[in-house]
């Protein structure tokens, strides 16, 4: 007569911590991996270094998320592989840098107000310009090749080359220095009184990147989880045909998502430009490797997966870059390979019908 | 028979290089339930998909409420008042039951009265309202699929084999639901293989074979005539009764 009681126990409490850990690994692979990623380096370096690297890694992750989220949605919703995504990043960087240079050239030591007034329009301009290129690109380049991955790869790589050459025509082929606004230079010093992170300097710009990244992530989750547009996007990822059967024009929905994704890539590029303080037309192309790793790692088409993928890539880059600089580039791809061997579908896969 | 709400004339359609429909002539009378019968591969599903604009019409005419809708894009056809429940039900499994319904209510808000009626007919939908639709049983998914199609008043429902793979008790529930829709004078075109189910519900009937209609008439007439059933459907109904 004790059998039902046993079943009850097995279902609720009384599981060993090992079983709980396994269940956690199974149910929340992204958090499990993030935890490992953050905890292990803590034993390999001084805690203040760890804190600085973690913030920098999160900042890089936030910027990578901005750049990658559009591409993962484009793929998830319409099965379109847009390898020209990197050129939207470059365009955003140049657009943002242009506004910043115009605004800040005479104000290198400007007030906080002038600085903020420069950053916001720079990001907005990057967003608008990249978004407009998105509209054009969807019409001219993507539309004729829906449903054919091979053609998409060829055509978008071609489109990407054209955009990058045009950037060089407009802005020249030299590296361009980007002024970082005065208010965002320097660092915040943490009081010595606080344990672990006491006494370290947190770079202001990285804090801003983290805040902006989290803000965009929260906004995207809200749109996707709570709004009608979000329901449509999720439904479209699952089954395009049935979305049309209900009377919605999926092409229009896709155009909107594609433009939003391009605009985000633009913002990401502008943020990256201010972070690196130097840009080239090919920067987007170079970032594409990380972007592709991020979206594969996270599970193609998944916004949540993309966010965690980006944070993981950012963190591993910084940690390994500190511990063994020569391995930093290998670490990103190595992380992807390891995750894919564990979960071939990515961290948070999107299930298609 | 009343005026047809939908009429197909000499409809041809291909899937890849295969010719599936060869000159389908079909009328769906307004306010009635019409059953489209036929063996596997006869072209029944393709007929529905062609009406919905999901399979391209290569030749012929589809008229809905007097307008030619051949070649119209699927979303426009749907907004014109045709709902379609495909054979695989097309449930969005990652979405909750509620989200599935929100999406189906194209005009924006769900009519509370209609929703309450749906909950009355399909109680499981109320129970699992905030659960992922992918976790529903096959029968519950079919209920959701039909509920989505009727959450807003539609002129015409196209339903593809709703009883496929379902237990007899659930088939009974579905039949009750269709009875209520009939009372509301909704025009329905139902593709079925289950003859007992179709006989219970159908008013008019069309039988397809090899991509065209081989018989048209009333259900009462076909239900009486066992020889005709044998000839058209190859059914040995004695065993089922």
Evaluate whether residue A39 is within a structural domain: no
CB A308 within 8 A of CB A298: yes
Domain containing A150 equals 48-283
User: Tens digits of per-residue pLDDT, A300-340?
Assistant: 888 899 999 999 999 999 999 999 999 987 899 999 999 99
Domains and CATH numbers, chain B: 4-81+155-240 (3.40.50.300), 90-153 (no CATH)
Evaluate whether residue A7 is within a structural domain: no
Residues within 8 A of A (CB atoms), B 35-54 only: 52, 54
pLDDT value at residue A148: 86
Query: B75: which chain A residues are within 8 Å (Cβ-Cβ)?
Result: 244, 247-250
Query: B148: which chain A residues are within 8 Å (Cβ-Cβ)?
Result: 246
Contact B95 A234 (CB under 8 A): yes
CA-based max dimension of chain A: 85
Residue of A nearest to B145 (CA): A242
CB A224 within 8 A of CB A233: yes
User: Tens digits of per-residue pLDDT, A97-147?
Assistant: 999 888 776 555 556 676 777 788 889 999 999 999 999 999 999 988 888
Averaged over successive runs of 10 residues, the pLDDT of chain B (241 residues) comes to: 84 89 93 92 93 93 93 93 95 94 89 93 95 93 95 94 90 92 93 90 92 91 85 58 36
Evaluate whether residue A91 is within a structural domain: yes
User: Tens digits of per-residue pLDDT, B195-208?
Assistant: 889 999 999 999 99
Residues within 8 A of A (CB atoms), B 76-95 only: 76, 78-79, 84, 86, 88, 90, 92-95
Q: Which residues contact A291 (CB under 8 A, 6 or more apart)?
A: A64, A67, A68, A71, A85, A86, A89
A228 lies within 8 A of chain B by CB: yes
Residue of B nearest to A229 (CA): B103
- Total domain count, chain A: 1
Evaluate whether residue A76 is within a structural domain: yes
């Amino acid at each position: 007569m004790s059998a039902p009681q046993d079943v009850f126990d097995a279902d609720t409490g009384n599981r060993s911590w090992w079983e709980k850990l396994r269940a956690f690994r199974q149910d929340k692979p992204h958090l499990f991996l993030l935890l490992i990623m953050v905890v292990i380096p803590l034993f390999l370096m001084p805690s203040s270094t760890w804190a600085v690297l973690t913030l920098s890694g999160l900042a890089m992750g936030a910027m990578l998320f901005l750049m990658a989220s559009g591409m993962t949605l484009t793929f998830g919703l319409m099965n379109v592989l847009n390898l020209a995504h990197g050129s939207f990043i470059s365009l955003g960087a140049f657009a943002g840098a242009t506004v910043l240079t115009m605004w800040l050239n005479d104000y290198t030591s400007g007030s906080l107000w002038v600085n903020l007034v420069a950053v916001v329009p720079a990001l907005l301009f990057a967003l608008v310009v990249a978004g407009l290129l998105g509209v054009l690109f969807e019409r001219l380049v993507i539309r004729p090749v829906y449903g054919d991955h091979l053609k998409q790869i060829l055509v978008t790589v071609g489109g990407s080359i054209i955009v990058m050459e045009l950037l060089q025509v407009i802005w020249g082929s030299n590296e361009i220095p980007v002024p970082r606004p005065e208010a965002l230079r320097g660092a915040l010093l943490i009081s010595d009184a606080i344990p672990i992170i006491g006494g370290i300097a947190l770079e202001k710009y990285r804090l801003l990147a983290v805040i902006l990244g989290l803000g965009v992530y929260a906004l995207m989750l809200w749109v996707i989880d709570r709004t009608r547009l979000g329901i449509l996007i999720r439904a479209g990822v699952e089954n395009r045909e049935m979305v049309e059967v209900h009377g919605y024009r999926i092409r229009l929905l896709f155009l909107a998502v594609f433009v939003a994704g391009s605009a985000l890539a633009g913002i990401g590029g502008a943020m990256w430009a201010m972070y690196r303080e130097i840009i080239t037309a090919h920067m987007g192309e170079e970032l594409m490797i990380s972007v592709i790793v991020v979206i594969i790692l996270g599970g193609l088409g998944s916004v949540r997966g993309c966010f965690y993928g980006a944070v993981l890539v950012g963190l591993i880059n910084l940690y390994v870059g500190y511990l063994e600089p020569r391995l930093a580039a290998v670490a990103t791809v190595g992380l992807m390979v390891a995750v894919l061997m564990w979960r071939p579908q990515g961290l948070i896969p999107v299930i298609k019908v | 028979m009343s005026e047809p709400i939908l009429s197909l004339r000499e409809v041809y359609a291909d899937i890849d290089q295969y010719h599936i429909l060869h000159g389908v002539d079909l009328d769906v009378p307004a306010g009635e339930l019409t059953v489209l019968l036929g063996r596997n591969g006869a072209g029944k599903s393709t007929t529905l998909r062609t009406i919905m604009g999901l399979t391209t019409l290569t030749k012929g005419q589809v008229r809905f409420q007097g307008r030619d809708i051949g070649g119209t894009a699927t979303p426009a056809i749907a907004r014109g008042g045709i709902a379609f429940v495909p054979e695989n039900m097309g449930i969005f499994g990652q979405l909750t039951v509620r989200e599935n319904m929100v999406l189906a209510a194209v005009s924006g808000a769900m009519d509370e009265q209609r929703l309450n009626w749906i909950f009355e007919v399909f109680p499981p939908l109320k129970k699992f309202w905030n659960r992922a639709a992918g976790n529903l049983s096959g029968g519950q998914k079919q209920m959701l699929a039909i509920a989505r199609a009727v959450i807003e008043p539609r002129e015409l429902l196209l339903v593809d084999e709703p009883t496929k793979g379902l237990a007899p008790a659930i088939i009974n529930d579905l039949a009750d639901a269709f009875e209520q829709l009939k009372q509301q004078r909704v025009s329905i075109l139902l593709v079925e293989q289950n003859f007992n189910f179709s006989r219970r519900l159908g008013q008019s009937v069309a039988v397809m074979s090899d991509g065209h209609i081989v018989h048209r008439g009333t259900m009462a007439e076909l239900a009486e005539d066992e020889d005709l059933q044998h000839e058209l459907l190859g059914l040995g109904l004695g065993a089922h009764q």
